Amino acid sequence: MIKKFLTIMIALSAAFFVGCEDDDPILIDMAPAAPQGVYSVTGDHEVYIYWYGPYESDIEGYIIWRSFEPIHNYQQVGYVDAVSNPNLDLLIYEYIDRAVVNGATYYYAVSSVDKAGQVSELSAENVFDTPRPDGAVTLADSGSIMNQSGYNFAAQAVVSATSEVADVFIDMFDGIFYLNARDIFTDIQDMGYTESFDDIGWAPPDGWSEVGWMEIIQDHTYVIWTRDNHFAKLRVESINSITVDFLWAYQTVDGLQELKPVVMEKPVHGPEYLIKSF
C-alpha cells in the first residue's frame, strides 16, 4: 500500500563518478518528476483519468494508483506506456478504469517511471470520482404525447408530464421547446453551449432558474437538482418536430454528486415559479 505525497523510491540511486580526479563532478540519476494536471471524467461504470507527462525524455511509463481514501492505501490499478518524447513536448495521457462500481467514490494518483526503473512521487492533485449511470432518452412535447414527455432520473424512465415522480418534462409553445421543472422543489439551469457531454462536471453554486423553465437549445447542457437532493444533467443532441433527443447522467448517491460542490443550499422560490409568461 502507498501513502500519497511521500516518495515511493529514493531519488539518489544509480549514482556514479566520471573520471578519477577529486574535483570531478558527481553525476546523480534523479528519480523522475511526478505527472501534473491530473484530473478525471466521470463515466457509467468507468472513470477516465488524464494527466500531463513531465518534460523528461527518459520516461518509460506511468503507474495509475487508486484508493478509497484521499491520502492512504493507494494501490496500483493500471500502467500506461510513455510515448517517445525527444523534443520534450507537452503530452496528455489517458487511462480508463473500468473496475469500478457506480455510486462508489474513488481517489486517484499517477506516478512516472523512468528507464532506470525509478518511480516518482505520486501526483499532488486531489482527484476523486464517483461513477454514475448515463444514457440517452427521447422526450415528446407534452401537448402532443403527454405520457412520453417527462423523465424520472432515479428510475431511468420516461413518464407523463403530470406524474408525481417526474423530475422534468418538456413542452412546446409557438414552435419552441421548453424544459420544465416538475415542481417547486426541483431546480434547473442552462449551462450553455457544450462541445461534448463531458464538458459539465460540476453544478454551479448559484444561477438556478427563477421561473422553473427555460428554452431548449441545440447542444446546450442543462443541470437538474432534484427534489430529493440528487443531481443530473441533460445535453440536447437533436431537436425534432415534436420530440427532443437528450443524453442524460444521474448520480445515485445522495449528496455525493459529481455535479455539485460540497455545500449548497436550495434556493427559495416564489409563487411565480413554474408559471410561464410570454
Confidence band, pLDDT 50/70/90 cuts, at residue 205: confident
Q: How confident is the model at residue 26 (pLDDT cuts 50, 70, 90)?
A: low
Higher pLDDT, 80 or 269: 80
Domain boundaries, the chain: 16-129, 134-250
Q: Which residues lie below 8 Å from residue 164, measured CB to CB, with a gap of 6+? A: none
Average pLDDT over residues 215-221: 98
Residue 262 has pLDDT above 80, yes or no: no
pLDDT in tens, 115-168: 999 999 999 999 999 999 999 999 999 999 999 999 999 999 999 999 999 999
- The reported pLDDT for the residue numbered 265 is 63
pLDDT tens digits along 117-129: 999 999 999 999 9
Model pLDDT, residue 167? 98
pLDDT attached to residue 51: 97
pTM equals 0.76
Q: Is pLDDT at 5 greater than 60 in this prediction?
A: no
Identify which has the larger pLDDT, 2 or 89: 89
Q: What percent of the chain has pLDDT over 90?
A: 74
- CATH superfamily, region 16-129: Immunoglobulins (2.60.40.10)
